Amino acid sequence: MIYKGKPRKLIMEDGSVFLGTGFGEDSCDRVCELVFNTSPVGYQEIMSDPSYTDQFVTMAYPLIGNYGINRDDYETKHPTIGGFVVRDYNDQPSNFRSCKSFSDTLKELGIPGITGVDTRQIVRRIRDVGTGKALITGAGTSLEDGLKIIAETELKPDAVSRVSRKLIENYITVGAKYHIAAIDFGMKENILRSFIEKGCSVTVFPWNAKAEDVEAVRPDGIFLSNGPGDPEDVKEAIELVRTLRGKYPIFGICLGHQIISLACGAKTYKLKFGHRGGNHPVKELETGRTDITSQNHSYAVDENSLEGTGLTVTHRNLLDGTVEGVRCEADRIFSVQYHPESCPGPHDASYLFDRFLSLMDK
């Protein structure tokens, strides 16, 4: 089905231009980092994942919008994704859970989308030249004007502070055996749901929580969430982990994994085009087990910088060999680069939540 909307244009930083049709918010010009995701489903979870703040997501799977949007699968109440680039947008969803079309939802949220473009070429371009800035604009914008807008637009470095909770929030589970202090850098709702389903009470702290405030609630363990941007920008969290290291079991996911590594003295670096999708194979080195994982990140831990940190590599990405997990047994710290709560994605790695609970048992 051909979606009928306003003519729109995607201009990449390297001068590539793609003409298409707008959906969602179709009257704004916006500059964001252009990335791609290989998941065939889960556009609602992707749209509402705070880790995609200020990013245009190119969906490698061509058909988007066909099952609509429902009330239950949001990962945050206030999505901050930059926009969507898709091959074939379907504005007539068919699903018993659907309550609204994808385009109507994006329009209400002020998020632009463009459809009818060759996403295969865009994905290949990103793989060849790496991620970079791009502009979604009206079809009448010239390439010269578009490149000028891109060059003059600086992407904000404060993404974590914008998406994190501002106040401490408590989630009490009756009869809970464990009390977890979770640091919110842009935490997905399904992480919180996963802990509650495991019978945990959770106190969620803003990204810049002080160590004394975290210790005041007497937690059994510390959890560090996913989130957007460069982990080196989140200096307050790095210092928090340094202060609490060895005092409590600590578990980190995605950005939390990178923050743990930085706090222990390791380094991180930006990947050429990142890992985004629900089909990344990751091997656990100790057992030889391979999990199919859900991932969304631009940065990775530098394996050569781990010497002397007390951290050892526990997991490795089988596509490019990058570090996917680390552990310090003495300090009861471990972390993974991927998302075991799996929205969108498989459930292979959900056992990691039980591993965290077993550390608190000890």
pLDDT of res. 34: 98
Catalytic member of 179, 324, 341, 343:
341
For the question of residue 339 being annotated catalytic, the response is yes
Residue 194 confidence (pLDDT): 95
What domains lie within the chain, and their CATH numbers? 7-152 (3.50.30.20), 159-361 (3.40.50.880)
Contacts of 87 (CB under 8 A, 6+ apart): 59, 62, 63, 64, 115, 116, 117, 118, 119, 120
Distances (CA, A) of 154 to 33, 107, 133: 10, 24, 9
Residue-level pLDDT at 276: 98
Q: What is the spatial distance between Cα 345 and Cα 338, in angstroms, rounded to a whole number?
A: 10
In sequence order, which residues have a C-beta less than 8 Å from that of residue 359 and are 6 or more positions away? 221, 249, 251, 332, 334
pTM: 0.96
- How high is the pLDDT of residue 1? 60
Identify whether 254 is a catalytic site residue: yes
Decide if 341 is catalytic. yes
Provide the CA 84 distance to its chain's centre, in angstroms.
15
Provide the pLDDT for residue 344.
83
- Rounded Cα gap, residues 28 and 138, in angstroms: 8
Question: In degrees rounded to 5, what are phi and psi of residue 295?
Answer: -135, 150
Token pair for residue 241?
Answer: 């982990």
Q: Splitting the chain (362 residues) into consecutive groups of 10 residues, what average pLDDT does each group show? A: 87 97 96 97 97 98 97 96 98 96 98 98 97 98 98 95 97 97 98 96 98 98 98 98 98 98 98 97 97 97 98 98 98 97 88 96 83
Among candidate residues 200, 254, 264, 328, the one labeled active-site is: 254
Q: What CA dihedral angle connects 20, 26, 31 and 35, to 10 degrees?
A: -50
**Residue 246, phi-psi category: left (phi > 0), alpha (psi -120 to 50), beta (remainder):** left
Angle at 266 between CA 261 and CA 271, to 5 degrees: 80
